[in-house]
Each structure stands twice: as C-alpha cells, then as structure tokens.
C-alpha cells in the first residue's frame, strides 16, 4: 500500500484548488499591497476580500481579522499584548494547552511577574468549568483566560459557550487557541463571546506560514511587531498575499464541504475505534477521543497494550510500513519528556504504555485504516 498519512492534526495536505489560487496569485498579483499603483491596489483588493470572507465565517467584522504567520504568532500577539498593554495580572489556563500558549505564558511570568493559575482537568483531561469559575471568583486582579477549543493531542472539545459565559460574568478576557477548531467547527463570535482567537491555515488544507488572530473591536491590544501600518497597525510587514488568498480559498472549501466531510471523517474515526477494539484487546483511548459528544471528529489518541520494549520501536516500525502518525504534537518532536498533555492526565503506569495520535482527513480511506490496524496487530504478535 502507498504511504498513509494519519497526522492531519500536525498539518494537512494542501487542496488542489488552493494550490491553483496560490500559483495564480504569485503569477499575477505580485504587487506590494501597500503600493498605490494598480499592481499594489490589485493585491490590496485581494487581501481585503479575503479578510471579509474569513470574517463572514466567524460572524465577525473584517476589521477584527488580523493576518499573521500562523497560530503561534497569533497566540503570542494576544497574550503578550494583553499583559504588556492591557494590564493583565493573572492568566488562567490549563496544563493541556498547546506550547504556543504554555511557553508564552511562562515567559510572561518571568518578564512581568504575572500570576499563572491552572484549571484542574476532569478525569478525561478537559478543564473543569467549576474550578475555572472558582479561580475567577477568588482573584481580584485583572484576568485573562486562555483555553483551547479543541485539544490538538487528545481531541477533547470544551464547551466554548459555557467558558465564554463564565469569563464574561466574572469580568475576565477570554482567548482561545482555535487552531484545531476553525475550518472544522462552526464559529459565531456574536454568540460565543470570545475576545481573541488564533487560527492557522495549514490545519484546514491551506498553506503553511499564514493564519490569523481574531481581535474583538476596541480590545485595546497594541502591536507585537512594529514597522509599517499594515494590518491596522497590529502587525507591520508586507502581507503574504498568495498565502492569504490561499487561506481564504481553503476556509471557503472547508466550510462549503463541512457537513459531508464531517460525516465522512467521523465515520472513519468510528470505524477505526471499532476495528482497534476488535483486533487489539486491551486497547484504551486517551481523553474523550472515543466519545463523539465530547471530542472532535478528526483525532483518536490510542493507548496500546504493548510491552515497554516493543513501545520503543513502534513509531519507527509504523514509519517503515509507510504509516505516518504521531506520539503527540509535532511541535514537541525531539523532546525527551514525552507528551505534556498525557502526563497531565495519565498515571505513571499508563504512561509506560505507548500512546499514538491518529488524525484524519477526507483524503483518508477505510482501506488505509484496515492496513494500519493489521500492521499494529502483526507488530503486537511478532
């Protein structure tokens, strides 16, 4: 069988339609969008059209969409400016957040002496809303809550509306890393009162190196990158026109095919879980990934009943068999400490067993999943 890509939470294959848009922009719209001549005006028109399109999918104002190099920059832009410019003295987050949030918050603690508090997780790893509310009610400082909508490793999905309500009722700003959510789940920023969001195009079949921050009007945020007046002054530097229009096309296709692709991918996930349970007795699933009502439809994080010796060779063996998956976030590859998400929710005994993240897209098939399950079964029996 050809190589099988099941690491879509790390990045996705760029759609052919997006590649066509990217190439056309590079060929035909190469003007600097800050230039006043026709070449520049054409590029500027494309950027503002993309901004309007993206804002429409979030039920936001175009002025609230700020283009960035990706989710990490968007997270940094929001968190650093909130502490530096808005007077935030306490950040409340969870130990299962992406490192783009955790490492930024840790650095802000060193630089500005802010307090950092962590919401305790439920047994499945989802931040506990009652504890969040208690933390907010027992802190008189100016606060910001940062909780991701969809966890990138275990697929847990928080009740974003409830978290937004708790934050609003307790006068806290709310930031959500929505990198695994936007393009996969519907968003309405008028209904869900988040103050800030982060997104990345390459998570929904767009190009790498581009994303956006949603910054609610009149937030008071100041620039992270200084220079020209691009992006309403929030982010200096010539915009990456081709990447921005590629992201627009990717998001248009993602939401245009959302229902059919969610049904198809969700069916793959359900089938994969069923086959694993049937063919590999003793298999376990981390977080809420096996519960459709509490997780995203694209991620399965599986804990396998393999010996410690076999565990050391598992990922290497799968790669030799042409199967791409992950032990955790791609952003921590090379780390010797393992998954910080699993370390926060599993016992020492459970951590001794190998856990793998499989993440799906509409490009995957049941035949591929059969091959993966059979490969895992043969590896266990070898």
Please tell me whether residues 233 and 266 are part of one structural domain: no
Domain with 117 in it: 16-256
> Which pLDDT score, from 0 to 100, does residue 2 have?
83
Question: What confidence tens digit (pLDDT) does each residue in 310-326 have?
Answer: 888 999 999 999 999 99
> Which pLDDT score, from 0 to 100, does residue 337 have?
59
> Which pLDDT score, from 0 to 100, does residue 338 have?
81
Q: How many domains does the chain have?
A: 2
Residue 368 burial by Cβ neighbours in a 10 Å radius (0-12, 13-18, 19+): buried
The rounded distance, in Å, linking the Cα atoms of 296 and 299 is: 6
Lookup: tokens for 26: 């590079």
Of 214, 239, 256, the residue at which a domain comes to its end is: 256
Residue 235 burial by Cβ neighbours in a 10 Å radius (0-12, 13-18, 19+): buried
Of 256, 288, 317, the residue at which a domain comes to its end is: 256
Please tell me whether residues 67 and 188 are part of one structural domain: yes
Please tell me whether residues 355 and 206 are part of one structural domain: no
Lookup: tokens for 38: 């026709």
Please tell me whether residues 302 and 244 are part of one structural domain: no
Please tell me whether residues 285 and 240 are part of one structural domain: no
| Local structure of residue 132 (DSSP, 8 states) | H
Alpha helices of the chain — where are they, by DSSP H?
16-28, 38-58, 71-86, 99-112, 129-137, 160-169, 241-256, 258-279, 308-320, 340-345, 348-351, 366-381
Please tell me whether residues 332 and 370 are part of one structural domain: yes
> Which pLDDT score, from 0 to 100, does residue 1 have?
64
In the β-sheet with 355-359, what is the strand arrangement from edge to edge? 284-285, 299-303, 355-359
| Local structure of residue 202 (DSSP, 8 states) | G
Residue 308 burial by Cβ neighbours in a 10 Å radius (0-12, 13-18, 19+): exposed
What CATH number should be reported for the domain holding residue 211?
Answer: 3.40.640.10
Of 199, 230, 256, the residue at which a domain comes to its end is: 256
Please tell me whether residues 69 and 214 are part of one structural domain: yes
b/e map 321-339, b = 16+ CB within 10 Å? bebebbbbbeebeeeeeeb
CB distance 294 to 126 below 8 Å: yes
Question: What is the rounded radius of gyration, in angstroms, for the C-alpha atoms of the chain?
Answer: 21
Whether 289 is catalytic is no
Please tell me whether residues 302 and 195 are part of one structural domain: no
Please tell me whether residues 265 and 366 are part of one structural domain: yes
> Which pLDDT score, from 0 to 100, does residue 328 have?
61
**DSSP string computed for 304-355:** ----HHHHHHHHHHHHHTTEE-BSS-GGGTT-SS--HHHHHHS-HHHHTS-E
> Which pLDDT score, from 0 to 100, does residue 333 have?
47
The overall longest dimension of the chain from CA atoms, in Å, is 68
**From first to last of its 382 residues, what are the pLDDT tens digits of the chain?**
689 999 999 999 999 999 999 999 999 999 999 999 999 999 999 999 999 999 999 999 999 999 999 999 999 999 999 999 999 999 999 999 999 999 999 999 999 999 999 999 999 999 999 999 999 999 999 999 999 999 999 999 999 999 999 999 999 999 999 999 999 999 999 999 999 999 999 999 999 999 999 999 999 998 888 999 999 889 999 999 999 999 999 999 999 999 999 999 999 999 999 999 999 999 999 999 999 999 999 999 999 999 888 888 999 999 999 999 998 654 544 444 589 999 999 999 999 999 999 999 999 999 999 999 999 999 998 8
Catalytic entry in 167, 289, 325, 331: 331
What CATH number should be reported for the domain holding residue 374?
Answer: 3.90.1150.10
Please tell me whether residues 98 and 174 are part of one structural domain: yes
Please tell me whether residues 214 and 94 are part of one structural domain: yes
Please tell me whether residues 343 and 361 are part of one structural domain: yes
Q: Any residues with CB less than 8 A from the CB of 59 and at least 6 apart, and which? A: 187, 188, 189, 190, 191
């Amino acid at each position: 069988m050809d190589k099988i890509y099941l690491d879509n939470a790390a990045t996705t294959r760029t759609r052919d339609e997006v590649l066509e848009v990217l190439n056309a922009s590079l060929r035909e719209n190469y003007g600097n969008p800050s230039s006043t001549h026709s070449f520049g005006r054409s590029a500027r028109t494309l950027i503002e059209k993309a901004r309007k399109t993206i804002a429409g999918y979030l039920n936001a104002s175009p002025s609230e969409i700020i283009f960035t190099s990706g989710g990490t920059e968007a997270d940094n832009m929001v968190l650093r400016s909130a502490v530096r410019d808005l007077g935030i003295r306490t950040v409340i987050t969870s130990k299962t957040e992406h490192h783009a949030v955790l490492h930024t918050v840790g650095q802000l603690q060193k630089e500005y002496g802010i307090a950092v508090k962590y919401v305790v997780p439920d047994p499945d790893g989802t931040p506990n809303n009652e504890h969040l509310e208690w933390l907010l009610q027992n802190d008189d400082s100016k606060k910001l809550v940062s909780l991701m909508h969809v966890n990138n490793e275990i697929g847990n999905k928080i009740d974003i509306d409830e978290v937004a309500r708790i934050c609003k009722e307790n006068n806290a700003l709310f930031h959500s890393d929505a990198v695994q959510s936007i393009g996969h789940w519907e968003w309405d920023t008028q209904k869900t009162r988040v103050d800030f969001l982060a997104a990345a195009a390459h998570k929904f079949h767009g190009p790498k190196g581009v994303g956006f921050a949603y910054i609610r009007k009149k937030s008071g945020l100041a620039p992270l990158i200084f220079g020209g007046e691009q992006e309403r002054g929030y982010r200096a530097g010539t915009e990456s026109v081709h990447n921005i229009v590629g992201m627009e096309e990717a998001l248009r296709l993602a939401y245009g095919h959302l229902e059919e692709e969610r049904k198809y991918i969700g069916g793959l996930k359900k089938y994969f879980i069923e086959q694993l349970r049937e063919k590999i007795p003793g298999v376990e699933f981390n977080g809420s990934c096996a519960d459709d009502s509490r997780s995203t439809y694209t991620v399965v994080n599986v804990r396998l009943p393999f010996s410690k010796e076999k565990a050391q060779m598992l990922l290497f063996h799968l790669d030799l068999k042409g199967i791409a998956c992950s032990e955790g976030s791609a952003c921590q590859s090379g780390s010797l400490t393992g998954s910080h998400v699993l370390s926060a929710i599993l016992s020492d005994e459970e951590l001794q067993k190998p856990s793998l993240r499989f993440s799906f897209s509409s490009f995957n098939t049941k035949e591929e999943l059969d091959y993966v399950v059979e490969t895992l079964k043969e590896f266990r029996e070898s």
